[in-house]
Structure 1
């Protein structure tokens, strides 16, 4: 029996044609033809059973045969804000794995000790879409452009907010213990600094803006590993 393939189609219920990238994959790689079944996902909570109605050259048309609303896999909203590493491959890996684990929002921070001040999200968006399809996530995470640290922490944000850092002179609490006291329906945001950590002034600024000072355990992690460690704790608390 042929495996039913999933395609990411925003507004799938209001159009009848796969986007160009998805159509190319459907026709050139999977060799779908008229009458073949496929599953569509719109990234906002719905799956659709569909049937190919036209497969010609670069065009793949479909008709929806059933709509399957999905239930959220976790409560609340989970967000990571991270200072991107110098090597983009590490951020690409983090974004892919965070999407597979389950996250709602990924933001990027321009910090005092940041190794990278500019980030292009086009390729990261494609990685997110691929991971959404692979892991069968009904909601596509929101991917934000890089933002200055002070602007991010000063922006009003709902729910519980944490900043992870390695300064022993600033009191810190274990994130997992803190999450055990958080209502599962609450939004949670965790800030992850660059390899050189946040500056002490940045940590103090975040605390003044309502962020709780936390650590991720006794190990010291690379930036992208710290983000996934924090995300797993967030998921386990839901």
Structure 2
């Protein structure tokens, strides 16, 4: 069954946007009566039947509706985007497939990418949502200065994964302690000593993702997996 994203769905019918209508009718060759799945990104999962196979305004009739409750835990990753945007797009795709509630993009002292447009990442997140069957689209935040971010998060549920020497706890040992968890992942040059000191002064605890030195996007995805495993076992 083909899946479409319908964020503004309400009522007994839904009309696909023109680009989706053309894809449904001209490419997928969907005709009247054929069933499709709709996801609204807010937990709503619907089955619908094609009522009017118009390539400009394909109208669907809702035949079944279900609500998928949110996970009982909240997974949040704050990561400094890589200079190569393809690598960050890969991370967003995989994180959504695994399941994540919020992604924040950090602007750090050593960040090679200082600005980020969310349009492309949002499209990738939607595509991953449809492919994986997830019902909840994560919140994607605009680029945020590191010092502003650490001033606003709850320190009791926030951890910083840095590479500096010093005592660090394995994320797997602490990530499952509560219903919420946020992990900070730095740029390829790591957080600066000043940024680490600032985070620790706010009560954010240092963690490690293992002995290997991971790329930024790999570390961010590893954090997502670790937070899930800690809560689902």
Task: Quote how far apart the aligned CAs of 1:28 are.
Answer: 2.6
What SS class does the counterpart of residue 187 from structure 2 fall into? coil
Q: CA deviation at 1:208?
A: 1.6
- Given that 1:48 and 1:64 are in contact with CA atoms closer than 8 Å, whether structure 2 keeps it comes out as yes
Alpha-carbon separation, structure 2, partners of 1:95 and 1:87? 13
Counterpart in the other structure of 1:9: 6
Moved more, 89-98 or 28-37: 28-37
Partner in structure 2 of residue 23 of structure 1: 21
Map 1:1-238 onto structure 2 (within 5 A): 4-14=1-11, 16-72=14-70, 74-157=71-154, 160-168=157-165, 170-180=166-176, 182-183=177-178, 186-238=179-231
Change (3 A) 1:159 1:134: farther
Give the SS at the match of 2:53.
Answer: strand
Conservation of the 8 A alpha-carbon contact between 1:10 and 1:42: yes
SS in 2 for 1:237: helix
- What's the offset of the Cα at 1:178? 1.6
| Contact preservation (8 Å) 2:77, 2:224 | yes
Retained in 1: the 8 A contact 2:81–2:113? yes
Determine helix, strand or coil for the equivalent of 1:167. coil
Query: In 2, are the aligned partners of 1:48 and 1:65 still within 8 Å (CA)?
Result: yes
Q: TM-score when scaled to structure 1?
A: 0.92
Does structure 1 retain, via aligned residues, the 8 Å contact 2:107–2:144? yes
Contact 1:159 1:187 survives alignment (8 Å): no
Number of residue pairs matched by the alignment: 230
State the 4+ residue runs in structure 1 displaced beyond 3 angstroms.
156-159
SS at match of 1:134: helix
Deviation at 1:158, TM superposition (A): 7.8
Distance 1:158 1:50, change over 3 A: farther
1:154 deviates by 0.6
Give the superposition deviation at 1:21.
3.6
